[in-house]
Structure 1
Amino acid sequence: MAALSGGGAPWRRGWLPVLQLVRRGSKAVTRHWKAMHFQRQKLMAVTEYLAPRPALPPRCLTPRRETREEEDGYGRLLRRQLEEVFREHRLIAVCQYNSMPDEDVVLMRQYLRKHNIEVKFVLNEIVRPVLSQSKYKNLLPLFVARNILLVSRETKVKEMLRVLKGVPQVNLLGACIDDTILSKQGVENFAKLPTLEVSQGQTVGALTLLPSQTSSLLQSGSAHLTALLDQHIHQLQAGETGSPEQPPPAQS
């Protein structure tokens, strides 16, 4: 005991008390971690924010480029066909197409086909690039809504207007006839014109009338002079013979 309490022990001589700072008025920490209630866990799980997923997985986006290339090729085909339509047909009428039953569409096509008029359903995305680079670019304002084309290799405007009169769902907006762009009123005025054969007959009659009148005018002077000379000769012969004067024969 004396040895433990003696001042000569080495561990006693090297020991110093630990310095501790005590804050007055501090409280002991009594709040410890506690598991979340089961109902609260479900509420937090339901209300957790989930980032939206992409519409298509990244692995599915690669074939989409090939599909776009195919669509571009199909669009080029449609544009080429449209260019052929404008190049090969004399009558190209632009009409606004409203929804109508399929039976009425079939009947309209049959009536128009009797007059060699075809119906072409076109898309504005295809028509606009073609017309903007051609001489028919003045037709661009007509392609606003859903449109159809009535095309024919002949200018059968009267027959087309007669058929469209019975189809109120199709409204005529304008036309291109023999590389001439006409409005709706212009198309109606064109339909009132006579046929080409009648116009040619009237032109030939007018051209033959003028030369005949000119020829008659040129011959009238010489015929009148000839009649005067015949009358003068008759008068001279009557004076030499002393016979009474007789009227000259009538000139035919």
Structure 2
Amino acid sequence: MSLAARNAICKAFTPSIQIKRFRGKINIQKPKPPHFERAKYLALAKPWFLPQDTDKKRCGNLKKLDFHKQKEENPFQRILSQELYRWFKTSKLVAFCHYNPMTKDDEYKAYMLLHKEKMHFKKYGKETLEMAVKGTPYEAVLDFYVSHNITIFSPEPEIKKLLKILRRFPQLILLAGIYENKLISKEELVYYSNIPNIQAAQATLVQTLNSAGTQLVSNLNSHQSTLVSHIDQRANQLQKGE
């Protein structure tokens, strides 16, 4: 093979490259409209400025504003506050819990478990609570509503059942409660939960009274029973002697 043919086959071919913009020059005067998504974000991020002649008007309007104007009362909020106050009045046990973030599934499970025990899982804002308990004996509970809180109302003082349910949901942190119209701490609630209920206490009292009465009757009859026993023995002895 000749040298010319060998160079033609083995030698690398390097093409000449000339950089050119696609479809010619950019039209600056009439640019192509951007894509819808890009146009939306451009419109959102577009800066805006107030006209200079409106500064004086704006400052003049500020003098006309009444910053001490009372807030308009919401009728629906007033209805909720009345309902909340009725819950406080009719419930024998009220528990206040701090509400940490939890899934809706866990929240629904907690709601259902409390509902089965005839307890009510309620969420209210601080303004509604303040409207309900302001100037009432329950005003002290406003100190617990600093962040996200829930309130549990129970028509019966089932403290042990309440603590058992709350142990399954660590997102609900028990803070305090109202028991027998008295505000008590979490430790006191735990203490009261270890005390037997009224039915068990009544049964123990009845058993104690019955045992005392039985013991009294036995003590009163013991001398008579002993005397009768001795007379029977003496009679048997006399019969044998004859």
TM bracket (short chain): 0.5 to 0.7
Deviation at 1:200, TM superposition (A): 3.0
Deviation at 1:213, TM superposition (A): 0.9
Task: Specify the alignment match of 1:165 in structure 2.
Answer: 167
Q: Secondary structure at the match of 2:213?
A: helix
Give the letter for the 1:53 counterpart: R
Highest Rg: 1 or 2? 1
Deviation at 1:145, TM superposition (A): 2.9
Structure 1 segment 74-223 matched on structure 2, within 5 A: 74-128=76-130, 130-223=132-225
- Whether the 8 Å CA contact 2:177–2:183 is kept in 1: the answer is yes
- Whether the 8 Å CA contact 2:126–2:142 is kept in 1: the answer is no
For 1:134 and 1:233, locate their aligned partners in 2 and report how far apart those are by CA, in whole Å.
Answer: 81
TM-score, scaled relative to structure 2: 0.62
Question: Are 1:53 and 2:55 an aligned pair?
Answer: no
Mean Cα deviation higher: 73-82 or 125-134: 125-134
Q: Secondary structure at the match of 1:69?
A: coil
Structure 2 residue runs without a partner (length 5+): 1-50
Deviation at 1:186, TM superposition (A): 1.8
CA deviation map 1:196-231 (0-9, x unaligned): 443332222122111111111111122223334445
Distance 1:122 1:48, change over 3 A: closer
Aligned residues: 190
Task: Specify the alignment match of 2:16 in structure 1.
Answer: none
- Whether the 8 Å CA contact 2:94–2:177 is kept in 1: the answer is yes
Structure 1 residue runs without a partner (length 5+): 1-45, 244-252
Question: Which one of 47, 68, 72 corresponds to residue 69 of structure 1?
Answer: 72
Task: Specify the alignment match of 1:22 in structure 2.
Answer: none
For 2:60 and 2:106, locate their aligned partners in 1 and report how far apart those are by CA, in whole Å.
Answer: 40
Task: Specify the alignment match of 1:24 in structure 2.
Answer: none
Q: Secondary structure at the match of 2:98?
A: strand
CA deviation map 1:77-117 (0-9, x unaligned): 22211111012222211111123333332232123222222
Question: Are 1:225 and 2:227 an aligned pair?
Answer: yes
Give the letter for the 2:72 counterpart: E
Distance 1:57 1:228, change over 3 A: same
Mean Cα deviation higher: 187-196 or 90-99: 187-196
CA deviation map 1:150-191 (0-9, x unaligned): 112233333322222122221101112343433211222232
CA deviation map 1:42-74 (0-9, x unaligned): xxxx9999447269899998xx97xx4342x33
Distance 1:185 1:69, change over 3 A: same
TM-score, scaled relative to structure 1: 0.60
Task: Specify the alignment match of 2:21 in structure 1.
Answer: none
Q: Which has the higher contact order (CA 8 A, sep 6+)?
A: 2
For 1:48 and 1:160, locate their aligned partners in 2 and report how far apart those are by CA, in whole Å.
Answer: 65
Distance 1:128 1:224, change over 3 A: farther
For 1:106 and 1:59, locate their aligned partners in 2 and report how far apart those are by CA, in whole Å.
Answer: 50
